[in-house]
Amino acid sequence: MKRRARQVESERRRSLAERMRAASRTQDPRGLMSPRAQDAPKDDTDESGDAAVPDGIRTAAAWSWRFLLVVAALYALLYLLVELSVVVIPVVVALLLAALLQPAAAWLTARGWPRSLSAAVVLVGGIAVVTGIIWLVVAQISSSFGDLSTQVGESIDSVRNWLVNGPLSLSQTQLNDAFESAQDTLANNQDLLTSGALTTAVTVGHVVTGLALALFTLFFFLQDGRGIWTWLNRLFPTPARPAIDEAASRSWRTLISYVRATAAVALFDAVIIGIGLLILRVPLAIPLAALVFLGAFIPIIGSFIAGLVAVLIALVSNGFVVALIVLGVIIGVMQFEGHVLQPLLLGRAVRVHPLAVVLAIAAGLLLGGIFGALIAVPIVACTNVATAYLMRRSHQAEAPGTPLPGEPVDESGSPLTSDPSTTGLVSPENGGGSQGAGPSADRVPGAKAP
pLDDT at 73: 92
Q: How confident is the model at residue 224 (pLDDT cuts 50, 70, 90)?
A: confident
CA dihedral 100, 102, 105, 110 (to 10 degrees): -130
Tell me how crowded residue 39 is: count the other CB atoms within 10 A of its CB: 8
| Mean of pLDDT over the chain | 74
Structural domain boundaries in the chain:
83-235, 238-400
Distances in whole angstroms, Cα of residue 450 to Cα of each of 105, 243, 441, 442: 16, 20, 8, 11
Burial of 51 (0-12, 13-18, 19+ CB in 10 A): exposed
Exposure string for 290-321, b = 16+ CB within 10 A, e = fewer? bbbbebbbbbbebbbebbeebbebbbbbbeee
Calpha distance 356→358 (Å, rounded): 6
Report pLDDT digits (tens) over 317-341: 777 888 899 999 988 888 887 777 7
DSSP string covering 152-163, please?
HHHHHHHHHHHH
pTM tops 0.75, yes or no: no
pLDDT over threshold 70, residue 106: yes
Report pLDDT digits (tens) over 36-58: 444 544 544 444 556 677 888 88
Side chain identity at 73, as an amino acid letter? A
Beta bridge partners of 409: 415
Report pLDDT digits (tens) over 399-413: 555 555 444 445 555
Report pLDDT digits (tens) over 230-285: 889 899 888 888 888 888 888 888 888 888 888 888 888 889 988 998 898 888 88
DSSP string covering 4-67, please?
HHHHHHHHHHHHHHHHHHHHHHTS-TT--S-HHHHHSPP-TT-TTSGGGS-HHHHHHHHHHHHH
Answer with the residue of higher pLDDT: 370 or 229. Answer: 229
Answer with the residue of higher pLDDT: 71 or 373. Answer: 71
Report pLDDT digits (tens) over 209-219: 888 888 999 99
SS3 label, residue 415? strand
pLDDT over threshold 70, residue 416: no
pLDDT over threshold 50, residue 127: yes
Tell me how crowded residue 180 is: count the other CB atoms within 10 A of its CB: 10
- Asked which of 169-183, 192-206, 294-308, 320-334 is least confident by mean pLDDT, the reply is 192-206
SS3 label, residue 281? coil
